[in-house]
Structure 1
Amino acid sequence: MTTEVSEADARFKRWMRDNLDRAAEHFGVVITGDPLIGWMDRSISAPVREGDSDRWLRVVSEDKQWTGGDFWTGNLDANSFAGLAKPHVLDVFEWEEWRQQRAEIMTRVPGSTCSPTDVLRAGISLDDMWWEELRRTTDTIAATPTKRVNSDQDKVTERLTKQFGDAVDPIVAEWETVHGDVHWANLVRPRFGLLDWELWGRGPKGADAATLLCHSLLVPGTARRVREVYADVLETETGRIAQLYVAARLLRRIRGGDYPDLLEPLELHVRGLLGS
């Protein structure tokens, strides 16, 4: 990385922190912890205090041309889910300054995330109730009708064909509503919780189970538990396609420099799915 790029990244991160401070001032809350920078520096979030209540404040920044999609309102739209352990968006504030900023203040799910990174890299102890609540949550999402779209057939076909050529028939036979980002940095313990509902919408059946499995491959014991919890989903042709679709996305991320340690187990997993 050149000095110029490093300085530009540092300036952008400072600007994102200024955005967080502006949002905190707008909502009248006090930032109480270190801010977290999201993927590609496109978001920043932090715990905050509002009176006697703990909240979570998140600010996402995008070029205005990309703000019309379902993802832009995903967290707010997910307020429609009742009875699930998830954040509830309380208020939204948007402003334009070079890019479009969207601040969301939401309830805070108690506990801590299962991993500091999307991919699990260390063993984790989760009780049976946690796993049961995970399955209940993804089943509830799957059964919820929506017009929101996480992935369509064109996207699936493009991703699978680019990665696997004609080794995979890309046609998805079954679709359902998915969270779209069930990985370990979005899962909370010791009591179950699921964060970051930005991407939820219709997608390939089994995509959530496939996502969690592929992000668990570095910890075989946890990957085995995911397979047990979702055996009826993953051990089907539809589940196989969902796993290949998720693997294709992760392989693209790995080529871009993310998760280098995941490459070998993921390629082994893909070979098993392809029967080669």
Structure 2
Amino acid sequence: MRPSTTAPPYRAELSARVDQPVLSDDPILQHHVQLPGSWWADLTKALEKVSATVTDRVAVRQQYMDRAIPEFVGIPVPAVTCWTTAHADLHWANVTAPMRLLDWEGWGRAPEGFDAATLYAYTLLQPDTAARVRDAFPVLGSPAGLAAEATVCAQLLQTVSRGDNLILEGPLREWSEELRRR
């Protein structure tokens, strides 16, 4: 028997040290943050670049959406009008000021607006900042963003059902009510 001449696949990741502290020690924003307009502009610009990146990596699977959205949000699965590339773990413990995005191991294809919906979800305890997230990302609240919002809401309600992120349970249930009305 002849040995295989094909090498096993490997994946390398490059890490860089970032000196800026994250904006929160917890993914859930539990204190007020005052960020300049330039920070929000840098974030939207960075996410536009990410969304334009071509990849075959997958962050969110349609099969997950088909199961989780009806179960946890209580609505039929919204059609995904556009799949884009997402960071897929955008929360307050993964961003710094000046703006840098950290923790990239989960990036890949997701419904349009997924990163905005994720950041919004982790901001629900801070209504002023949550409103700022919605202002920065008009896809939230739009028909195009419904699939992403429902997916993120379902993901986090699933974590609540497992005993995690319990502090978000009330706001997530309110958000799911809003999604059901849309």
Give the TM-score normalised by structure 1. 0.60
| Structure with larger RCO (C-alpha < 8 A, sep 6+) | 2
Q: For the residues of structure 2 that align with 1:122 and 1:132, how far apart are their CA atoms?
A: 21
Instruction: Report how far residue 110 of structure 1 moved.
Output: 2.6
Whether contact under 8 Å (1:153, 1:172) holds in the other structure is no
Instruction: Report how far residue 158 of structure 1 moved.
Output: 1.6
| Correspondent of 1:248 among 138, 145, 154 | 154
Which residue in the other structure is 2:134 paired with? 227
Whether contact under 8 Å (1:178, 1:207) holds in the other structure is yes
Q: How many residues align?
A: 173
In terms of Rg, which structure is larger? 1
Whether contact under 8 Å (2:88, 2:115) holds in the other structure is yes
What's the CA shift string for 1:158-194, capped at 9, x where partnerless? 22132245x22343221000010000010112x1111
Whether contact under 8 Å (1:131, 1:229) holds in the other structure is yes
Which residue in the other structure is 1:212 paired with? 119
What's the CA shift string for 1:12-51, capped at 9, x where partnerless? xxxxxxxxxxxxxxxxxxxxxxxxxxxxxxxxxxxxxxxx
| Correspondent of 1:177 among 85, 101, 114 | 85
Whether contact under 8 Å (2:73, 2:153) holds in the other structure is no
Dislocated runs of 4+, deviation >3 Å:
none
Whether contact under 8 Å (1:153, 1:171) holds in the other structure is no
Whether contact under 8 Å (1:174, 1:238) holds in the other structure is yes
Instruction: Report how far residue 235 of structure 1 moved.
Output: 2.7
Whether contact under 8 Å (1:214, 1:266) holds in the other structure is yes
Instruction: Report how far residue 140 of structure 1 moved.
Output: 0.4
Q: Give ranges in structure 1 of 5+ residues lacking alignment.
A: 1-71, 77-88, 90-105
2:164 equivalent to 1:258: yes
Q: Which amino acid aligns with 1:173?
A: T
2:55 equivalent to 1:146: yes
Instruction: Report how far residue 126 of structure 1 moved.
Output: 1.0
Which residue in the other structure is 1:121 paired with? 30
Whether contact under 8 Å (2:65, 2:77) holds in the other structure is no
Q: Which amino acid aligns with 2:94?
A: N
Instruction: Report how far residue 253 of structure 1 moved.
Output: 0.7
Give the TM-score normalised by structure 2. 0.89
Q: Which amino acid aligns with 1:253?
A: T
Which structure 2 residues correspond to residues 81-100 of structure 1 after superposition, within 5 A? 89=14
Q: 1:173 aligns to what SS in structure 2?
A: coil
Which structure 2 residues correspond to residues 1-276 of structure 1 after superposition, within 5 A? 73=11, 76=13, 89=14, 106-165=15-74, 167-189=75-97, 191-231=98-138, 233-275=139-181
Instruction: Report how far residue 257 of structure 1 moved.
Output: 1.5
Q: Give ranges in structure 2 of 5+ residues lacking alignment.
A: 1-9
Q: Which amino acid aligns with 2:77?
A: D
Of Structure 1 and Structure 2, which has the larger fraction of its residues in strand? 1
Q: For the residues of structure 2 that align with 1:117 and 1:257, how far apart are their CA atoms?
A: 16
Instruction: Report how far residue 236 of structure 1 moved.
Output: 1.5
What's the CA shift string for 1:109-166, capped at 9, x where partnerless? 231101111110110111111111110111100011111111121121122132245x
- Identity over aligned pairs, percent: 36
Whether contact under 8 Å (2:52, 2:84) holds in the other structure is yes
Q: 1:111 aligns to what SS in structure 2?
A: coil
What's the CA shift string for 1:193-248, capped at 9, x where partnerless? 110000101111110000000110000010010000001x1132121221111010
Q: For the residues of structure 1 that align with 2:171 and 2:61, how far apart are their CA atoms?
A: 27
